[in-house]
Amino acid sequence: TLLDQSRGKNGKPYLKIPGVPCEVVYTFIRFMYSSCYEEEEMKKFVLQLLVLSHYYSVPSLKRVCVEVLDQGWINKENVIDE
């Protein structure tokens, strides 16, 4: 499972993803359980979510991230340094 075997102070298992902001983890978990996402969150966190989708093998999230990137997120201004 995605849940780490670690347990918090309350004894509940938790997911530990170092280096990923809480908002991104929240968006990722919500997508995992419901396949729902907020468009603004997806645009804001697309690169981090794409990495998580690859790391945790979530092809449906990867497809959504690629769609967002294909909708003009990547352009020559934000890809190459002139």
Tell me which residues of the chain have a pLDDT lower than 50.
1, 3-4
Domain that holds residue 55: 22-79
Looking at the domain assignment, is residue 4 inside a domain? no
Please check whether residue 42 lies inside any domain of the structure: yes
With respect to residue 13, please indicate whether it lies within any of the assigned structural domains: no
Q: Is residue 31 part of a domain?
A: yes
Output the pLDDT for position 4.
Answer: 47
Note the pLDDT tens digit of each residue in 65-78.
Answer: 999 998 877 777 76
Burial (0-12, 13-18, 19+ Cβ within 10 Å), 61:
buried
pLDDT at 17: 76
User: Number of structural domains, the chain?
Assistant: 1
| 26: in domain | yes
**Residue 81 tokens, joined:** 């340094």
Residue whose tokens read 């918090």: 8
Instruction: Determine, yes or no, domain membership for 36.
Output: yes
The answer to whether residue 74 sits within a structural domain is yes
